[in-house]
Every structure is written in C-alpha cells, then in structure tokens.
C-alpha cells in the first residue's frame, strides 16, 4: 500500500528546484531567479505558519512573521537598501506584539517586542542627527519599552528598570565641554 503524502518528497523537490535555479543563475542563464524563488519560499512558509493562528496556535506568530519578513527581505533586497535590517527586525517584533495582543496575560512579549522595535528604529536613523541620534533613540526606546510593561502589565518592578535606563541615558548623553571640563575628543573640541 502506498503512502498518501510524504512531506520529505516536497522538501526534496523544493531543494532540487532551488539548487537548479541557483546553478542556472550562476552560469548566467537566469538573473535573480534564486532570490525570487527563495524569497517566495520563505514568504509562503511564513504565511503557512500564520494560518495556524486561526486554530489558536499562538506560537505560530514567531516563525510566521519571521519567515515572512525574511522572504520580503530576500525578494525586495535591492529596493529596501538600508531599510532591510529594519524590515527584518520589525517583522520579528510584530510577532511579539501580536502574541501580546492575542493574550494580554503574555505580558513578557512586550519586552522583546519593544527591544526589537527600538533596534529597528535605530537601524534607520541617520547618524548626522546630532544629539538625537541612534544612541538617544536606543535609550529612550528601552525606557519606553518598560513604561509599556509597567502600564499595560501593571508590573511595578518595571519602574526600577525605567529609572535605570534613564540613568544610563543621562550618563551617556553628550555634554558641552563647559559641563564636564576640558576634553580632547568628541564633537565639542
């Protein structure tokens, strides 16, 4: 008696097709075929995981949004340019935001969601913004993450972490030379 369906055959066919496209692209017969194929595979796999959400499988948000973001990154790498990292980190952070929204008792998801969102924002911030650059956005984003934990999860311990991030931010904030004495390096030489 023959088996109805063997997923190993499908996986093998996908790998053979992807390898064949990569070989044809390397030999110069096709252009960007491998990126389109693998980007589509990751995007379809991400959507397949996300369909599991309808069955109540909240854990499917993690592979679903991560694979979908990876698929978008592969498919649109040229068009995204410097925003590629933000798209991927943002996609992973969406999985944590959705996890929290689906069940408010999973307050722990706010922390990685806020951290990854902060990192996504920092990756696209231009370095020439002066005092309000990537470092400032990072510290403020981390503090805002724990403000959300304190307010939404009603976790009083998060206020101590907020104070810690504010203290780190104040210590690392660049100051004019008159505030800290003579310096030999930095923007206020």
Predicted confidence at residue 13, as pLDDT, reads 87
Q: Does the residue 118 lie in any domain?
A: no
Q: How many domains does the chain have?
A: 2
Q: Does the residue 23 lie in any domain?
A: no
Q: Which domain holds residue 133?
A: 125-174
Taking only the tens place, the pLDDT of each residue in 1-41 is 666 777 788 888 888 888 888 888 888 887 777 788 888 88
Q: What is the average per-residue pLDDT within 123-133?
A: 64
Q: Is the dihedral of CA 60, 66, 69, 75 positive or negative?
A: negative
96-101 contacts: CB < 8 A, separation 24 or more?
96/61, 98/61, 98/65, 99/58, 99/61, 99/62, 100/152
Predicted confidence at residue 181, as pLDDT, reads 46
94 & 37 share domain: yes
User: How far is the first Cα of the chain from the last one, in angstroms, to the nearest whole number?
Assistant: 82
Task: Tell me which of 172 and 58 has the higher pLDDT.
Answer: 58
Confidence of residue 48 (pLDDT cuts 50, 70, 90): very high
CB 39 within 8 Å of CB 68? no
Q: Does the residue 184 lie in any domain?
A: no
């Amino acid at each position: 008696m023959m088996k109805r369906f063997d997923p190993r055959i499908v996986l093998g066919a996908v790998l053979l097709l992807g390898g064949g496209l990569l070989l044809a692209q390397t030999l110069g017969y096709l252009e960007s075929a491998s990126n389109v194929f693998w980007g589509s595979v990751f995007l379809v796999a991400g959507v397949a995981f996300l369909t599991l959400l309808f069955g109540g499988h909240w854990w499917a948000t993690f592979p679903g949004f991560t694979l979908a973001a990876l698929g978008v990154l592969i498919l649109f790498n040229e068009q995204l340019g410097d925003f590629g990292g933000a798209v991927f980190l943002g996609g992973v952070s969406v999985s944590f935001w959705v996890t929290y929204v689906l069940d408010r008792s999973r307050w722990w998801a706010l922390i990685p969601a806020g951290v990854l969102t902060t990192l996504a924002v920092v990756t696209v911030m231009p370095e020439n913004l002066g005092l309000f650059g990537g470092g400032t956005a990072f510290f403020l984003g981390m503090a805002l993450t724990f403000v959300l934990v304190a307010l939404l999860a009603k976790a009083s311990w998060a206020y101590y972490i907020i104070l810690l991030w504010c203290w780190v931010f104040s210590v690392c904030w660049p100051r004019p030379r008159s505030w800290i004495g003579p310096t030999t390096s930095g923007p206020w030489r």
